[in-house]
Amino acid sequence: MARQAVAALCLVGAASFLVVAGPVVRPVRRLRRLAPAPVRARPAWWPDRVRWAAILAGVAMSVVVGGVAGLAAGSLAGVAADRLLHRIEPRAARERRLREVADLPLAADLLAAALRAGAPVDRSALAVAEALGGPLADRLGRVGRTIGLGGTAIEAWAHLRTVVGAEGLVQAAIRSSNSGAALAGALTRLADDLRAERSTAAEAAARRAGVLIVLPLGLCFLPAFILAGLVPVIVAVLGDVL
């Protein structure tokens, strides 16, 4: 009984490390938050929250199994939990990535409109960043500031390389800077292609959902078919034979 209690406490602690919220900022202390706080450097060897959760999960496994086998099982469980939990994308990063992907076609259209209006590339990027808002706007703002400070096109547009679907935009911008080709038309075509790809992906997801729904329906329908269709026939045949 004591083992189960210790294991439960370890699992509760692991869950608390994963779901614990940040510190609550009280209204009377909001102005203090504006002042730069001293940076507390954490040692490189010190585990983060995810690793602490994996350690507690390993301890729980060791306590439940017990003995030498428990130590081995706990070590394996801790290592496996650490690797699996670190592969999970944080919610904030996922929301940021999805927002960037969603805003990319509109950003390409706005950039094309600004360039057709005669604005230079750096001013166009800054104007779109100001109008768009969000994480993609921050990247576009860095692009515009880099170009305005005299950076090369490769250095400037490298801020968008990690955005999913922005490879074509980056290549078109660099190619336009090197060859002098018009960038507005390429951006418009890129926006149309991104919207078409998004529509195709949505249709594929809808079709995939229809296929996946068949499995639980089959699992529910098959026992009913056996009980209502096959069992009476088998019982009747056995009754006649016996």
Domain residue limits, the chain: 51-88, 94-197
pTM to 2 decimal places: 0.60
Those residues whose C-beta lies under 8 Å from the C-beta of residue 183, and which sit 6 or more positions away, are 111, 112, 115, 121, 172, 173, 176
CATH code linked to domain 94-197? 1.20.81
Using an 8 Å Cβ cutoff, are 132 and 106 in contact?
A: yes
Instruction: Identify the pLDDT of residue 27.
Output: 43
pLDDT band at 210 (very low <50, low <70, confident <90, very high): confident
Instruction: Identify the pLDDT of residue 34.
Output: 40
**Higher pLDDT, residue 38 or 206:** 206
Report CA 207 to chain centroid distance, whole Å: 23
Instruction: Identify the pLDDT of residue 220.
Output: 78
| CA 25, 27, 28, 32 torsion-angle sign | positive
User: How far, in Å, CA of 142 to CA of 60, rounded?
Assistant: 47
Q: Report the percent of the chain where pLDDT is more than 70.
A: 79
Instruction: Identify the pLDDT of residue 138.
Output: 92
